[in-house]
């Protein structure tokens, strides 16, 4: 497998897309010490200071239809939260679809980008950003109240190499299982790591805002929300958990 290592890039997702278009094989990793234009979901930026986190992207070429791509993101969230628990002891939760939080504060963000034809995926880039050894005072003011790091929560410096190794092992074993047996086992693990299920949530975007109780995810990875007028299925969007 190829690992492309950079000290400094705009965004590991951009590099990964570039080499995926140049036929990089499935499983290729792009990792950087720092990103100076790290990207988040919803056109937001992603704070990616030098040597303080794990900023990386994985190229997959799953034999799925484009509609099944969100499952890869759920799989990545399960792999990362299991590896974090194993290496650091910090028990994070997954907020649908793919934020990893500790006590309501963000530790990990995942940005999945895809190139597809009507019925086949050319490639999927799963970009993962993990706040590993960032001190609370180092976060920019506008995200400081919403963000934390593994070092803050574990109370010690965390080895980025140990954590990245564990994540790649988890990802490989989950993905191998998915290719052989389908997504059911990932969905089960996703449910057990979820902090969204059972909560009162507000959905922003798509067809307008609404609230309800998040009751489950279905086999496509969509969030099912019980509202006053029935069950709504949400495939994409921003979901906030209400107190």
DSSP3 helix / strand / coil % (the chain, rounded to 5): 30, 35, 35
What lies within 8 Å, CB to CB, of 243 at 6+ separation is none
Query: What are the backbone angles phi and psi of residue 100, rounded to the nearest 5°?
Result: -115, 120
Check: CB of residue 111 under 8 Å from CB of residue 127: yes
Does 34 bind ligand BTN (CB under 6 A)? Our answer is no
Q: Using the rule CB under 6 A, is 156 a contact of ligand BTN?
A: no
187 sits near ligand BTN (criterion: CB under 6 A):
no
* Residue of the chain from 20, 28, 49, 55 that contacts ligand BTN (CB under 6 A): 55
Tokens of 204: 């922003």
Q: Is 199 in the site for ligand BTN (CB under 6 A)?
A: no
Helix spans in the chain (H)? 12-21, 70-88, 141-144, 150-154, 160-181, 184-193
Phi/psi at 78 (5° precision): -65, -45
**Binding residue (CB under 6 A) for ligand BTN from 38, 70, 97, 221:** 38
- Scanning 36-44, 159-167, 175-183, 188-196 for contacts with ligand BTN by CB under 6 A, the matching segment is 36-44
Position of minimal CB gap to ligand BTN: 109
Question: Does 57 contact ligand BTN by CB under 6 A?
Answer: yes
- Binding test (CB under 6 A) with ligand BTN, winner from 18, 44, 156, 157: 44
Total residues contacting ligand BTN by CB under 6 A comes to 21
CB of 130 to ligand BTN, least distance (A): 8
- Contact string 86-115 vs ligand BTN (x = CB under 6 A): -------------x---------xxx----
**CA angle, 25 as apex, 19 and 26 as ends, to 5°?**
110
Is residue 237 a contact point for ligand BTN (CB under 6 A)? no
CA–CA dist 111, 202 (Å, integer): 21
Q: Which residues bind ligand BTN (CB under 6 A)?
A: 11-13, 35, 38-41, 44, 46, 48, 55-57, 99, 109-111, 127-129
């Amino acid at each position: 497998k190829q690992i492309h290592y950079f000290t400094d890039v705009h965004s590991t997702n951009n590099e990964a897309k570039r080499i995926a278009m140049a036929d990089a094989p499935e499983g290729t990793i792009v990792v950087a010490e720092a990103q100076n234009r790290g990207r988040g979901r919803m056109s937001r930026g992603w704070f990616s200071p030098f040597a303080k986190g794990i900023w990386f992207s994985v190229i997959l070429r799953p034999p799925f239809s484009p509609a099944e791509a969100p499952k890869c993101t759920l799989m990545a969230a399960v792999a990362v939260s299991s590896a974090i628990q194993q290496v650091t002891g910090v028990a994070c939760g997954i907020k649908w679809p793919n934020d990893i939080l500790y006590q309501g504060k963000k530790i990990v963000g995942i940005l999945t980008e895809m190139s597809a034809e009507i019925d086949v995926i050319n490639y999927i880039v799963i970009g993962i950003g993990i706040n590993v050894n960032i001190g609370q005072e180092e976060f920019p003011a506008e995200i400081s109240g919403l963000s934390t790091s593994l070092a803050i929560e574990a109370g010690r410096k965390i080895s980025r190499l140990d954590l990245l190794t564990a994540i790649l092992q988890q990802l490989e074993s989950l993905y191998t299982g998915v290719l052989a047996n389908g997504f059911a086992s990932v969905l089960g693990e996703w449910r057990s790591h979820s902090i969204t299920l059972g909560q009162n949530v507000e959905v922003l975007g798509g067809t307008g805002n609404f609230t309800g109780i998040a009751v489950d995810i279905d086999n496509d990875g969509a969030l099912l929300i019980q509202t006053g007028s029935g069950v709504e299925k949400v495939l994409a969007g921003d979901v906030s958990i209400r107190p």
